[in-house]
Structure 1
Amino acid sequence: MGDKPAVGLLRRWCRAGLADLTAARREIDVLNVYPIPDADTGTNLQLTMAAACGGAEDGEQESVSALLRTVSRHALLGARGNSGVILAQLLRGAALALDGKAELDGPDLALALRAAADAGYVAVEVPAEGTMLTVIRAAAEAANDRAAQPDPTLHAVALVGAAAAREALAHTPEQLEVLRRAGVVDAGGRGLVVLLDALVSVLSGGRSEDALPAPSEPTPMPEVRLDPDDPAYEVLYLLDAPDDAIAPLRSALARLGNSLVVVGGDGLWNVHVHVDDPGAAVEAGIEAGRPHRIRITPLKEIQYSASASAEGCVDVPAVRGVVAVAAGPGLGELFGSAGVTVVEAKPGRPSSATEVLAAIRTAGTAEIVVLPNDPDGIAIAEQAAARARDEGLRVAVVPARAQVQGLAACAVHDASRSFDEDVVAMTAAAGHTRHGAVTVATRDAITSAGWCKAGDVLGVVEGDFALIGADLATVGRDVLARLLGGGGELVTVVTGADADAGLAAAVLEGVRATRPEVDTMVYDGGQPRYPLLIGVE
């Protein structure tokens, strides 16, 4: 059975929005001077949208309401930075407004935009005009005005909302002095315009003529640096806590720093704040509930200069790149959407050192982290890294032995950290991800689990054949149960080229029923030979 029209539309919007944010990432990063000039708003929005798309591709949702709930939850779990956390809250507001909706029309879209804007303003402790909040509010007001007029089609409402967002974005320098001095529009607002234009494009079947193109050249602007009086650290964490614990948490964090955003609900929250004492910010979370996936980033190491070129243009070259070996086209797109240089693995053999070295050179950065994502590829990646070091590059190989370990490492990659800190964090994330897979035997053979015949389904746990069965879903559930035996907070399932549409849902059905505290993400990896790859973090 195919998607209902609106469900299919929203899935296409998620894909288009992620693709357009990926294309505009560098441009948006360059615009980023508020609240701090750390040049990562485009990257944070892209990564947050990539997480949201993981929910959109789950394939189980049969209504607009169900799809938006899943998308907003995945965005909440994967939100990065101030802008990403706010985007997650906008999606949550829209999801709550459309609760129970099976389809989507123009007035529904207007209602969703209004709820998104309201949710955004509530989430930010000290809302500022001239930001992405201003842009979403302008879109919502215009959309609601159009919805009250005759023939408020979905396309008509979306078109008016996107146009109002572009106009509001153009006026953001008049509302924030730091934008006026820098000669730029708000970076987060620009990202929202990209997403609204993507919706118009999907509805119309083509690019909006008024859409703001991503410039091919850096944007001229004067030098912008961090204020020495600003807080020294950005603190992000997920928080399991009852709703009534959030108001005291907000008060405690507001006393510690600024740029405070707390989003979520129903017991799960995403907390973002800039502070001088990150330990105190985490302790406040402990008093409220259970903080996890804690990220602490030193802000004062960041310098954002507009004097990078002789023409006085901002050119923020990536100082650190990531190279990853991808076992399938879907995995390649997934890594690529995170700004990773991808090496396509050939079926049946690991990538060569020459191919990995070529990707390291293509990354175009002075520092590179390599993710082999295969046990046989680790030594090959080390050979390529050694040759790259001879060329003056700084290269480290994270010993990721599976594709899901590489995905986990990418999720914590942060170029604002020191090289060593980033490598350690990525290595830890990969190492803390237990991995498994399901495949089909091509011939009779003896395995660690016993004798198998051609056509038997084999379950792989941590690189060893551990199960033999007759059904993909049953073996997949057994593999997942073994991986979860040691605990876990997040299950990632990557479906292969030969996987049926309902395979991932069948494997995850028991977990969702018996372990509701475990989050799940499903991706279409397109890899050959393995209908399922499974990771547990």
Structure 2
Amino acid sequence: MGDAHHQRTDGTADGLLLRRWARRSVDCLEERRGEINSLNVFPIPDSDTGTNLLFTMRAALDSAEALGGDVTSATRTANALARGAVAGARGNSGVILSQVIRGIAETVRGERINGLDLAEALQTGTELASRAVTDLVEGTIVTVLRASGEAAAQCVGVDLQSVALAAADAAASALVKTPQQLDVLASAGVVDAGGLGLLVILDALVESVSGHSPDRVELGAGRSRGLIAEVSRRDHDWDRKSGPLECGDDSAQDFEVMYLVDESDEDLMAALRTRLAVLGDSIVIVSDGFGGWSVHVHCCDAGAAVEAGLEAGRVHGIRISSFLVDQRDQLVARQEMQFQGHDARGVLAVVAGDGAAALFESEGASVLRCDEAPVTRAQLLGHIRTMDRTEVLVLPNGALSAQELVAVSAAARDPLHQVLLLSTSSMVQGLAALAVHDGSRNVADDGFTMSESAAATRWGSLRIAVERSLTFVGTCDPGDAIGLMGHEVVVIGPDVEASAARLIDLALGSGGELVTLLMGADAADGLAERMEAHVISTYPGVDVLIYQGGQPGDLFQLGVE
């Protein structure tokens, strides 16, 4: 924070702050590169979006740090960042990022940058990126960029810090919606990788001008895959397809080709775009604003794509990558993960309630919450993949039907990953299973032992009826206490405590050594203590464990072992 004084109290910033932003962006992209790569399913599932954004931003930073003379000028620094970003852009997302930075360069006209400049820069960057992409698709980095620019434009007369925060907040909101706009994202259970990378960069700007990083609880590292609309898992398995990718299948292309072009003009580049459209797709052609151009295309004939560029001007900086090779390298990396021992296995639990979530997390499980809405198959599948473990044991805890679990299991399984969905019908059964989890055992043995422990736990719940209905033990009216063993109603009564005690008696009728009570959010004060006293006085030798789960609906969940 040594150059923090380069943001003045008038809400503007100079070139040194722009350089600090670029440096912080590089650091943040390095930290989250793996996460961003793991989300990469569009337009090609080559798991390199985070890497491409990092290389592009690093090239921009290197160019700015090579400046001599007056480095406090916002104009000179922005121009250097733009030249470096376009020249060093990697991949589709990197080329688009270069246009965001170029938008800043074209907007800043003096020694300092203010909130109005930033708003105009984001809108200019959106226009440049939209023109650069031949086939613009919603639900991508450009969509997220547009939302940030529109939000920034609403901040009339506001300082740089406020505009930066408004832009970043709008980008976060747009990112969460990307699976609703692009089917391949919904199918894979992810948000757009490039959009997340852009958000990381915008948050780095907020931190650079304010000294504080935005708290993205809903978009924390490792959680981006769960943020999807309520969609069904389709047959795509984009990042785990077996066999080679060839022209004509889902990938459509074999190579990613990038190069730089000098000594050209708008007409020649327009002609190049037309030629490349015949050869392939994902075409992005951008200018650095200083006579240089960056060209990107996915195609089957890399040589023809380069030859087309030779007719447009002086070509240099040629980079060609093969999706076949990239896929092979990803498979090798996943195979290596299988030999990481204990750390290769994880447990995922579906839970409701703050207390229950904390309880499962304290035992080492990852948590997928289901408090406000039912968990979908796509959400569960996305969360499993986010864990980046070769072995995952899932405790569904009654949140999904058996049919849905079978579908998730089939979609999650491949030769490099073992995903076992255990038969836990409630959170108390999940806790019983987690209590005997041992990561040093073979995964099949560990799953079998955990399933045995869950099956040996009789479980029930107590709740309040919200409507009149007919059950096997009689009719309940709104406000009655209803006790269930498993999914069957066994107790109905107007008195909550009497019904709770009756439910415990039925649960202990066939024996038991331990009673676990997971108390819900609506349980009355003292109910747990009175039920504990009932067990101790009525069943000598039976132990009682009480946890505050905070789950909605049930006054408590009951487990007997």
Tell me the SS of whatever aligns to 1:126: coil
The structure 1 residue matched to 2:306, chosen from 271, 275, 282, is 282
Identical aligned pairs, as a percentage? 45
In structure 2, what is the Cα distance between the partners aligned to 1:213 and 1:164?
A: 13
The answer on 1:234 being equivalent to 2:256 is yes
Contact 1:242 1:266 in 2 (8 A): no
Provide the residue aligned with 1:91 in structure 2: 101
Q: Which residue type is aligned with residue 67 of structure 1?
A: T
DSSP 3-state at the match of 1:291: strand
2: distance between equivalents of 1:219 and 1:160? Answer: 24
Q: Is the 8 A contact 1:260 1:272 kept in 2?
A: yes
Partner amino acid for 1:295? R
Residues 213-292 of structure 1: pairs in structure 2 closer than 5 A: 214-215=220-221, 219=225, 223-224=237-238, 225=241, 227-228=249-250, 230-243=252-265, 244-264=267-287, 265-292=289-316
Shift of 1:267: 2.6
Equivalent position of 2:135 in the other structure:
126
The answer as to 2:207 corresponding to 1:182 is: no
1:316 Cα shift? 6.8
Q: Tell me by how many angstroms 1:86 deviates.
A: 1.1
Q: CA RMSD in A?
A: 2.7
Offset at 1:213? 5.5
Question: Per-residue deviation at 1:241?
Answer: 3.2
What residue in structure 2 maps to residue 15 of structure 1?
23
Cα deviations by residue, 1:371-391 (Å, 9 ceiling, x for unpaired): xxxxxxxxxxxxxxxxxxxxx
Is the contact between residue 30 and residue 219 of structure 1 (CA under 8 Å) also seen in structure 2? no
Cross-structure match for 1:72: 82
Change (3 A) 1:126 1:216: closer
Give the match's secondary structure for 1:207: coil
The correspondence for 2:385, drawn from 282, 306, 313, is 313
Letter in 1 for 2:210: S
- Aligned amino acid, residue 196 of structure 2: R
Once the two structures are overlaid, the 10-residue window that deviates more, 279-288 or 215-224, is: 215-224
* 2:385 alignment partner AA: C
Partner of 2:159: 153
* CA distance in 1 between partners of 2:48 and 2:315 (Å): 24
Q: After TM superposition, what 4+ stretches of structure 1 lie above 2 angstroms from structure 2? A: 2-5, 58-62, 209-223, 225-229, 300-317
Contact 1:197–1:208, Cα closer than 8 Å, also in 2:
yes
Residue 93 of structure 1 deviates from its aligned partner by 2.2
Contact preservation (8 Å) 2:155, 2:163: yes
Query: Does the 8 Å contact 1:30/1:315 carry over to 2?
Result: no
Give 1:283 shift: 0.6
Q: Which one has a bigger Cα radius of gyration?
A: 2
User: 1:215: how far off?
Assistant: 2.4
2:148 paired residue number: 139
Q: Cα offset for 1:65?
A: 1.4
TM-score, normalising length: structure 2? 0.52
Q: Please give the alpha-carbon distance, in whole angstroms, between the structure 2 residues aligned to 1:68 and 1:266.
A: 13
> Which residues in structure 2 correspond to 1:326-341 (within 5 Å)?
none
Encode CA deviations 1:315-350: one digit per residue, 9 max, x unaligned.
779xxxxxxxxxxxxxxxxxxxxxxxxxxxxxxxxx
**Distance (whole Å) between structure 2 residues aligned to residue 218 and residue 113 of structure 1:** 24
Separation in 2 of the partners of 1:200 and 1:218?
A: 20
Structure 2: distance between partners of 1:144 and 1:76:
25
Q: How many residues align?
A: 313
Q: Aligned letter for 2:36?
A: I
Equivalence for 1:36? 44
Specify which structure has the bigger relative contact order, considering alpha-carbon pairs within 8 angstroms and separated by 6 or more residues: 1
Question: Residue type matched to 1:126 in 2?
Answer: D
Shift of 1:50: 0.7
Question: Counterpart in 1 of 2:214?
Answer: 208
Provide the rounded CA distance (Å) in 2 between the counterparts of 1:95 and 1:215.
31
Letter in 2 for 1:197: D
Distance, in Å, in 1 between the alignment partners of 2:160 and 2:223 is 35
Distance 2:311 2:20 in 1: 41
For 1:128, the aligned partner's letter is V
Q: What are structure 2's unaligned runs of at least 5 residues?
A: 8-13, 227-232, 338-343, 347-383, 390-561
d(CA) in 1 for partners of 2:21, 2:151: 20
1:212 Cα deviation from its structure 2 partner: 6.1
Q: How does 1:361-400 map to 2 (within 5 A)?
A: none
Q: Secondary structure at the match of 1:171?
A: helix
Match of residue 194 from structure 1: 200
**Whole-Å separation in 1 of the counterparts to 2:97 and 2:305:** 22
CA distance in 1, matches of 2:142, 2:223: 27
